């Protein structure tokens, strides 16, 4: 299919240029670590209560580090108006969305595989739950977050100060996903007896993901119109 082909081409271009510079990825990872450190002195981690916020922190760092990458993926197309070049090319807007989504999703997965173990280490966290479920939930949550985020980044990109607008749009819309996965993460990390409830949350998030992904594919045409 042409759509997928051009999307892959675009994703390849983005990932290749990231591969050459590694700039965004490294920044995201360091940023995630720094957020962990900032939280550590804002909220005393030796306090036992803070152990309970680890699921929250996981998602906070994914969100904050993710926003950096999401914004960049669109802003990088604005220098020299290259976004126009994509728009006048025989490529559907949905292809642009898909391409950006693939690139962003790949990057955030890499960030997570590095930042989360680091977090566990620093907060001296002992895994009491199930790792496969945990990975599943991270995957589902990131998928939702990135698909919503890519769409909204394209929307915010129309503004001169998109890096400011993006969080404002993203937080409210992504909050169902984030609340859901935080709950699910909390359960699979500590209390496997409530697994069924975690699965229900995951299901809820998954359907939200799918709905949003499909809606985005349709609505992106209107967002990317000049």
| Interface ranges with another protein (CB under 8 A) | 6, 9-10, 13, 17, 20-21, 23, 26-27, 30, 33-34, 37, 40-41, 44-46, 79-82, 84-92, 121-124, 155, 158-160, 165, 168-169, 171-173, 175-176, 179, 211-212, 215, 219, 222-223, 225-226
The answer to the question of residue 120 lying near a copy of itself (CB under 8 A) is no
**Which residues neighbour 36 within 8 Å (Cβ) at sequence distance 6 or greater?**
57, 61, 115, 118, 119, 122
The answer to the question of residue 131 lying near a copy of itself (CB under 8 A) is no
Among 1, 46, 172, 226, binds a copy of itself (CB under 8 A): 172
In angstroms, give the least distance from the CB of 133 to another protein: 21
The answer to the question of residue 104 lying near a copy of itself (CB under 8 A) is no
The answer to the question of residue 164 lying near a copy of itself (CB under 8 A) is yes
DSSP string, 57-68: HHHHHHHHHHHH
In angstroms, give the least distance from the CB of 5 to a copy of itself: 29
Cβ pair 134, 55 in contact under 8 A: no
The answer to the question of residue 171 lying near a copy of itself (CB under 8 A) is yes
Q: For 194, which DSSP code?
A: G
The answer to the question of residue 214 lying near a copy of itself (CB under 8 A) is no
In terms of CB distance, is 3 or 195 closer to another protein? 3
In angstroms, give the least distance from the CB of 19 to another protein: 12
Site for a copy of itself in 23-42 (CB under 8 A): 23-24, 27-28, 30-31, 34, 37-39, 41-42
**Which residues neighbour 166 within 8 Å (Cβ) at sequence distance 6 or greater?**
67, 70, 71, 149, 152, 153, 156
What is the C-alpha to C-alpha distance for residues 122 and 125, in angstroms, rounded to an integer? 8
* 219-224 own/partner pairs: CB under 8 Å, 24+ apart: 219/151, 220/93, 220/94, 220/96, 220/97, 220/151, 220/154, 221/92, 221/93, 221/94, 223/93, 223/151, 223/154, 223/155, 223/158, 224/83, 224/87, 224/93, 224/96, 224/97, 224/154
Binding residues vs a copy of itself (CB under 8 A)? 23-24, 27-28, 30-31, 34, 37-39, 41-43, 47, 49, 52-53, 55-57, 59-60, 63, 68, 71-72, 79, 160-161, 163-165, 167-168, 171-172, 175, 178-179, 182
């Amino acid at each position: 299919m042409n759509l997928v082909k051009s999307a892959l081409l675009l994703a390849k271009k983005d990932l290749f240029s990231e591969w050459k510079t590694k700039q965004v990825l490294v920044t995201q990872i360091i940023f995630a670590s720094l957020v962990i450190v900032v939280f550590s002195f804002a909220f005393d981690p030796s306090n036992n209560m803070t152990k309970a916020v680890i699921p929250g922190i996981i998602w906070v760092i994914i969100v904050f580090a993710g926003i950096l990458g999401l914004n960049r993926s669109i802003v990088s197309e604005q220098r020299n108006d290259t976004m126009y070049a994509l728009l006048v090319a025989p490529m559907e807007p949905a292809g642009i969305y898909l391409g950006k989504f693939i690139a962003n999703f790949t990057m955030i997965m890499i960030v997570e595989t590095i930042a989360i173990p680091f977090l566990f280490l620093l907060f001296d966290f002992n895994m009491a739950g199930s790792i496969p479920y945990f990975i599943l939930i991270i995957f589902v949550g990131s998928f939702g977050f990135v698909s919503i985020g890519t769409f909204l980044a394209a929307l915010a990109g129309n503004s001169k100060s998109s890096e400011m607008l993006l969080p404002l749009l993203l937080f409210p819309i992504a909050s169902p996903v984030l609340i859901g996965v935080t709950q699910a993460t909390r359960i699979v990390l500590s209390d496997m007896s409530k697994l069924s409830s975690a699965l229900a949350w995951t299901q809820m998030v998954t359907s939200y993901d799918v709905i949003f992904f499909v809606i985005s594919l349709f609505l992106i045409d209107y967002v990317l119109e000049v």
